[in-house]
């Protein structure tokens, strides 16, 4: 049966945009971004072509890990606004056809959460068993996630007289999901936000959530942790027919497949493709597209409902943990040679334009490539205008600086004194004077307008989100030529990761001289000859999106 309705599985060709309300736009002038500011900028996101907004944690929090340390799963951080303000922002987004998902951070709570306060106060607390306690720390599972701050996954608590498990910072005690009451509470949290209008969740740290490390009572360990993930997905489906779970699972391919629920596709709806992201950087560093091509070809086949989320930057360190030591060293040398640009020994704390020396050809090539990859692209706020990082900010905060709206005070983010902002704004070539939304909106040749073109073309080419993927043979290592086909539509994308111009011979076996390749990002058509061959001319760091246009095709122009 042919599937002609893409509407139900909306995530298969969504354009996702991730932002932190705190750093997006401060409407009341207190120095902190807020939901009212976000609501004011929904039209901006709609114009950019965003179809799904991912809100980073907005819950009450002592904010020692930008909100990933939560003290009330049902609340809204008062600095960002009220539940009412959040609902207004969601409503405005929905009105513009934008769905909204939010971080679900239930592997752990803040140590200031009332549950943990109660748990640590007495062994008889009803919340004691909501966390994972041991008299002696267990053998470490490996290096701590944040090796610069933590030496162990276990922390001794004076009050409790026991050690508790924390896979992240010590102020983030892990919840005990082997306790059925905790599992119920997590479902209630999800149900609450779905009822309020969210379309699903970006699920934080999924493998850590599922693990039962430190739980000694064998009878209580989850016999099949993946059953639990399946239950969560089923719950979202029941409560919100087309709600999604977009999971953070930075594991090897075969394990990722498990987190999708294998060929049944009944666990996570989407997963970030961390591996292709890392190989893309290796490919760029080497000017050799083959590592990226191999990573894409190595993706396991997925169920129709499942999808990869592609990205080139997120809010964390740009992790290179899946590369070998020498590959990582190559990427460090190319894009972040100074130790101050690196973090945790495995990642970079820079944004793309700075890593690429501000070279507009390379920057555009990367985003053209991102949007042409099979999957659903995810942008991190500020990427669309080419924001840089501020290395003066600590650790991962270097890439979490306020959004740059204008060339004015605080980049138009806030009218407050600079000392009250959530972080320092970049200076030098990436300062708001040089990089801001207002200027780029008025400039037809700006990166912002180029990104809007990419989102438009991506949405017009459902084969990118839905289709089959093949790498086309051609002679240049620095070139990636690939083709996505779905239904009777087919798109060829050709990217040159090298600085030298290339004329790339391509052959499409199922085509003949009746077919032309129609450029989608610029004017032009390239005829094929009788054997389905053509030569595609690319500048250094050039890119082309070519629709395989057959005579009589409708919808091709």
* Coil/strand/helix, residue 260: helix
Please give the span between the terminal C-alpha atoms of the chain, in angstroms, as a whole number.
28
Q: Would you count residue 317 as binding ligand GLC (CB under 6 A)?
A: no
Whether the CA torsion 339, 282, 18, 177 is positive or negative: it is negative
Contact pattern for ligand GLC over residues 105 through 144, marking x by CB under 6 A = x---------------------------------------
CB of 397 to ligand GLC, least distance (A): 11
Contact pattern for ligand GLC over residues 258 through 297, marking x by CB under 6 A = ----------------------------------------
Q: Name the burial class of residue 220, with classes exposed (0-12), middle (13-18) and buried (19+) by CB atoms within 10 angstroms of its CB.
A: middle
Positions marked catalytic: 204, 248
Any idea what DSSP says for residue 504?
A: E
CB of 248 to ligand GLC, least distance (A): 6
Contact pattern for ligand GLC over residues 235 through 254, marking x by CB under 6 A = -------------x------
Whether the CA torsion 371, 374, 379, 380 is positive or negative: it is negative
- Count H helices and E strands in the chain, helices first: 17, 22
* Coil/strand/helix, residue 127: coil
- Considering only residues 403 to 462 of the shown chain, the ones binding ligand GLC according to CB under 6 A are none
545: enclosing H helix or E strand: strand 543-549
CB of 23 to ligand GLC, least distance (A): 14
# binding residues, ligand GLC (CB under 6 A): 9
Supply the DSSP string of 396-458, one letter for each residue.
GGGG-PPP--SSSGGGGS-SS-GGGSSSPPP-GGGSTTTS-HHHHHH-TTSHHHHHHHHHHHH
Q: How far is CA 361 from CA 368, 436, 496, 542, in A?
A: 10, 19, 10, 7
Rank residues 320 and 480 by Cβ distance to ligand GLC and give the closer one: 320
Tokens standing for residue 178: 């082997």
In whole angstroms, what is the distance from residue 64 CA to residue 542 CA? 42
Rank residues 49 and 57 by Cβ distance to ligand GLC and give the closer one: 57
Rank residues 33 and 49 by Cβ distance to ligand GLC and give the closer one: 33
**Residue from the set 17, 27, 59, 68 that interacts with ligand GLC by CB under 6 A:** 68
CB of 166 to ligand GLC, least distance (A): 10
Q: How far is CA 241 from CA 17, 87, 234, 372, in A?
A: 22, 20, 10, 29
Rank residues 27 and 169 by Cβ distance to ligand GLC and give the closer one: 169
In whole angstroms, what is the distance from residue 58 CA to residue 354 CA? 29
Which are the contacts of 441, defined by CB distance < 8 A and separation ≥ 6? 448, 449
**Residue from the set 26, 34, 65, 288 that interacts with ligand GLC by CB under 6 A:** 65
* Coil/strand/helix, residue 461: coil
CB of 134 to ligand GLC, least distance (A): 21
Rank residues 167 and 364 by Cβ distance to ligand GLC and give the closer one: 167
**Residue from the set 9, 38, 205, 437 that interacts with ligand GLC by CB under 6 A:** 205
In whole angstroms, what is the distance from residue 176 CA to residue 165 CA? 9
CB of 480 to ligand GLC, least distance (A): 28
Contact pattern for ligand GLC over residues 16 through 55, marking x by CB under 6 A = ----------------------------------------
CB of 465 to ligand GLC, least distance (A): 24
Q: Would you count residue 463 as binding ligand GLC (CB under 6 A)?
A: no
Q: Name the burial class of residue 87, with classes exposed (0-12), middle (13-18) and buried (19+) by CB atoms within 10 angstroms of its CB.
A: middle
The alpha carbon of 438 is separated from its chain's Cα centroid by a whole number of angstroms, namely 25
In whole angstroms, what is the distance from residue 482 CA to residue 460 CA? 17
Rank residues 26 and 316 by Cβ distance to ligand GLC and give the closer one: 316
Residue nearest to ligand GLC (CB): 68
CB of 473 to ligand GLC, least distance (A): 38
Which are the contacts of 501, defined by CB distance < 8 A and separation ≥ 6? 537, 538, 539, 540, 542
- Considering only residues 489 to 548 of the shown chain, the ones binding ligand GLC according to CB under 6 A are none
Q: Would you count residue 204 as binding ligand GLC (CB under 6 A)?
A: yes
- Considering only residues 148 to 177 of the shown chain, the ones binding ligand GLC according to CB under 6 A are 168
Rank residues 113 and 483 by Cβ distance to ligand GLC and give the closer one: 113
**Residue from the set 199, 305, 316, 389 that interacts with ligand GLC by CB under 6 A:** 316
Rank residues 258 and 316 by Cβ distance to ligand GLC and give the closer one: 316
Rank residues 378 and 493 by Cβ distance to ligand GLC and give the closer one: 378
Task: Give the interface with ligand GLC as residue ranges (CB under 6 A).
Answer: 65, 68, 105, 168, 204-205, 248, 315-316
């Amino acid at each position: 049966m042919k599937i002609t309705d893409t509407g139900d599985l909306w995530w298969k060709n969504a354009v996702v945009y991730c932002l932190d309300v705190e750093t997006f736009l401060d409407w009341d002038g207190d120095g902190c971004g807020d939901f009212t500011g976000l609501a004011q900028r929904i039209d901006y996101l709609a114009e950019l072509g965003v179809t799904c907004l991912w809100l980073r944690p907005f819950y009450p929090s002592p904010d020692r890990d930008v909100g990933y340390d939560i003290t009330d799963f049902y609340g809204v951080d008062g600095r960002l606004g009220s539940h009412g303000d959040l609902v207004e922002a969601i409503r405005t987004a929905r009105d513009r056809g934008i769905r909204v998902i939010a971080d679900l951070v239930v592997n752990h709570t803040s140590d200031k959460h009332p549950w943990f306060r109660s748990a640590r106060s007495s062994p008889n607390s009803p919340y004691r068993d909501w966390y994972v306690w041991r008299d002696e720390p267990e053998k470490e599972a490996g290096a701590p996630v944040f090796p610069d701050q933590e030496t162990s996954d276990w922390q001794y608590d004076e009050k409790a007289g026991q050690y508790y498990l924390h896979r992240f910072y010590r102020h983030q005690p892990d919840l005990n999901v082997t306790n059925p009451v905790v599992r119920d509470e997590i479902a209630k949290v999800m149900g609450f936000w779905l009822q309020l209008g969210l379309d699903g969740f970006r699920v934080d740290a999924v493998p850590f959530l599922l693990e039962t490390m430190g739980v000694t009572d064998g009878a209580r360990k989850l016999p099949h942790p993946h059953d639990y993930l399946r239950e969560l997905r089923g719950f979202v489906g029941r409560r919100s027919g087309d709600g999604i779970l977009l999971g953070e699972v930075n594991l090897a391919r075969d394990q990722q497949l498990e987190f999708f629920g294998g060929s049944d596709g009944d666990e996570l709806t989407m997963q970030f493709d961390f591996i292709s992201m890392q190989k893309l950087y290796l490919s760029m560093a080497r000017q050799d597209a083959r590592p990226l091509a191999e990573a894409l070809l190595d993706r396991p086949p997925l169920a129709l409902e499942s999808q990869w989320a592609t990205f080139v930057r997120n809010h964390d360190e740009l992790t290179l943990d899946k590369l070998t030591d020498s590959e990582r060293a190559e990427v460090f040398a190319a894009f972040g040679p100074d130790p101050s640009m690196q973090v945790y020994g495995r990642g970079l704390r820079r944004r793309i334009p700075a890593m690429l020396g501000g070279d507009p050809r390379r920057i555009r090539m990367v985003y053209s490539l991102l949007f042409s990859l099979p999957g659903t692209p995810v942008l991190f706020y500020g990427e669309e205008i080419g924001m840089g990082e501020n290395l003066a900010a600590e650790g991962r905060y270097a890439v979490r600086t306020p959004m740059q709206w204008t060339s004015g005070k605080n980049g138009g983010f806030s009218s407050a004194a600079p000392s009250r902002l959530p972080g320092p704004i970049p200076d030098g070539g990436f300062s708001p004077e040089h990089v801001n939304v207002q200027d780029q909106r008025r400039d037809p040749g700006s990166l912002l307008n180029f990104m809007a073109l990419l989102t438009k073309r991506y949405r017009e080419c459902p084969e990118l989100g839905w289709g089959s993927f093949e790498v086309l043979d051609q002679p240049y290592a620095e070139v990636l030529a690939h083709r996505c086909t779905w239904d009777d539509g087919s798109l060829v994308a050709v990217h040159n990761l090298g600085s030298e111009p290339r004329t790339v011979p391509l052959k499409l076996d199922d085509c003949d001289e009746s077919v032309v390749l129609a450029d989608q990002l610029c004017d032009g058509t390239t005829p094929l000859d009788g054997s389905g061959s053509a030569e595609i001319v690319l500048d250094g760091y050039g890119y082309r999106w070519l629709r395989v246009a057959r005579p009589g095709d409708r919808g091709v122009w």
